[in-house]
Amino acid sequence: MAVRPSVALRAPPKRFAAARYSTKPETTAEFDPNAITSMDKQQPPAPGEDFRVAIVGAGNINFGSDEGPWNHSFRLEHKLGPRLKVTALIDPSEQRAKQVLKTKCDSFVVSAYKDTVIYPNVEAYIASLKPEERPHAIWVGSPPAFRGRLEHGRDLEEVLAKGLPGVPLFVEKPVSTGPVDQAFAVAHKIEQTKTLVSVGYMLRYLKVVQKMKQILEENNLNVMAINARYIMAYEHTAKLDWWDKSQTLGPIVEQATHFCDLSRYFGGEADLSSVMAHSVEYFEPAGKLSKIPVDESRVAPENRIPRVTCATWKFDSGAVGSLTHAVALQGHNYSTELDVYADGHMLRLVDPYNAPILYFRRPGDDHEEIVRYQNDDPFFSEVSNFIDCIENGPGASPILSSYEDAVKTYALTWAIREASERSIKK
């Protein structure tokens, strides 16, 4: 018997169901706190027909690094076992792609990668594709500068939709680096095609996050306020591009996006016209950092990242949201917390990236209860749920972030960045 995903909707199994998918995110549905999501606790994948995957991007998000727990290929291998067949690896750097495949073929997952073909771009892959090689899913982990737009060369989703109509897409966040209105236009096109899309806002899949949703829904609570804090440890961030907001868009759009997304997940839609923000800039006394590991003088002054951004906004419900992002800590460990307040209730999510803990207070009780779940892997849950929907039909497992939903988070991050820039005193 297959292990249930962490958040699941029951549906009769229909292997590779031919279905028209809705791109709307599923609701919480059943939350099973006892579901096994850690990969080393999974039952061995059942044998079956091949599951063909094309992977776009040979970088860290798809194949892992020492910087974090991300590694989509690793989760695909554990979800599908010997059924996994990576038929294509698409990356402009042939050398990087070859190195990734060599590492895989020197390991126990060689059967998934021994026949993988490297392509420099999606167009070359589609042009060479035979009907019997049509993938069951495409994993998109390429830089966001090349997707989420309408102009040629940055319209990856449209190229895939035209060349491989109906093939489900897993897309990493943020969805783009381009104009927000173009990202919404792409979302509209995807909605029209009814292509199944899941976007990698993995924190939604945490059991503690689902527990928070359960508490709010079971008690019929209206969220009053959300307060998110993301304090970064910066001294080992040695990529110059990260310190250049013309390259990676700055820490709100690129990094705090997960906390903006969780704020929307709990609070609903934000009124972007209400966003107000202030920042601490590099040239201010409060913005001087002593352990920057790169030569920041190589970044144009107007492109240097803010040290602190503080933002507030209203949700459509009337609730208030706030975010503080700071490039302030040294060492390795970040400090990340998110508070949700409702009548009689306080929910406090602590350290969701590493050791997630939920502290919460109930009405009439001054003490905080503590909830933690061992061996929870939200990366595996988002991969598992996506595969389940492809194989068993829509609704088999919740997809918690659709493309359109992810674009709304992207819009909020841009609104915060732009509001903070308007407030800068030169």
In a domain, 409, yes or no: no
Q: Which domain holds residue 284?
A: 207-375
Whether residue 259 is found in the same domain as residue 325: yes
Q: So what's the pLDDT on residue 39?
A: 60
In a domain, 172, yes or no: yes
pLDDT in tens, 92-119: 999 999 999 999 999 999 999 999 999 9
Whether residue 90 is found in the same domain as residue 198: yes
Q: So what's the pLDDT on residue 270?
A: 98
Residue 99's CATH number: 3.40.50.720
In a domain, 247, yes or no: yes
Whether residue 178 is found in the same domain as residue 218: no
In a domain, 152, yes or no: yes
SS3 of the chain: CCCCCCEECCCCCCCCCCCCCCCCCCCCCEECCCCCCCHHHCCCCCCCCCEEEEEECCCHHHHCECCECCCHHHHHHHHHHHHEEEEEEECCCHHHHHHHHHHHHCCCCHHHHCCCEEECCHHHHHHHCCHHHCCCEEEECCCHHHCCCCCCCCCHHHHHHHHCCCCCEEECCCCCCCCHHHHHHHHHHHHHHCCCEEECCHHHHCHHHHHHHHHHHHCCCCEEEEEEEEEEECCCCCCHHHHEHHHHCCHHHHCCHHHHHHHHHHHCCEEEEEEEEEEECCCCHHHCCCCCCCCHHHCCHHHECCCEEEEEEEECCCCEEEEEEEEEECCCCCEEEEEEEECCEEEEEECCCCCCEEEEECCCCCCCEEECCCCCCHHHHHHHHHHHHHHHCCCCCCCCCCHHHHHHHHHHHHHHHHHHHHCCCC
Q: So what's the pLDDT on residue 40?
A: 64
Cα(426)–Cα(282) distance, integer angstroms: 11
Cα(210)–Cα(34) distance, integer angstroms: 12
Whether residue 223 is found in the same domain as residue 104: no
In a domain, 52, yes or no: yes
Whether residue 194 is found in the same domain as residue 325: no
Whether residue 302 is found in the same domain as residue 344: yes
In a domain, 259, yes or no: yes
Sign of CA dihedral 34, 36, 40, 43: positive
Q: So what's the pLDDT on residue 3?
A: 32
Residue 328's CATH number: 3.30.360.10
Whether residue 24 is found in the same domain as residue 77: yes
In a domain, 420, yes or no: no
Amino acid at 351: D
Whether residue 196 is found in the same domain as residue 69: yes
Whether residue 25 is found in the same domain as residue 117: yes
How distant, in Å, are the alpha carbons of 210, 218, 233 from that of 29? 10, 12, 36
Whether residue 231 is found in the same domain as residue 370: yes
Q: What is the pTM of this model?
A: 0.90
CB 198 within 8 A of CB 382: yes
Whether residue 26 is found in the same domain as residue 147: yes
Whether residue 13 is found in the same domain as residue 90: yes
- The structural domain count of the chain equals 2
Q: In a structure prediction context, what are the per-residue pLDDT tens digits for the chain, which is 426 residues long?
A: 333 333 433 233 333 443 334 445 544 456 777 776 766 666 777 788 999 999 999 999 999 877 678 899 999 999 999 999 999 999 999 999 999 999 999 999 999 999 999 999 999 999 999 999 999 999 999 989 999 999 999 999 999 999 999 999 999 999 999 999 999 999 999 999 999 999 999 999 999 999 999 999 999 999 999 999 999 999 999 999 999 999 999 999 999 999 999 999 999 999 999 999 999 999 999 999 999 999 999 999 999 999 999 999 999 999 999 999 999 999 999 999 999 999 999 999 999 999 999 999 999 999 999 999 988 999 999 999 999 999 998 888 999 999 999 999 999 999 999 999 999 987
In a domain, 422, yes or no: no
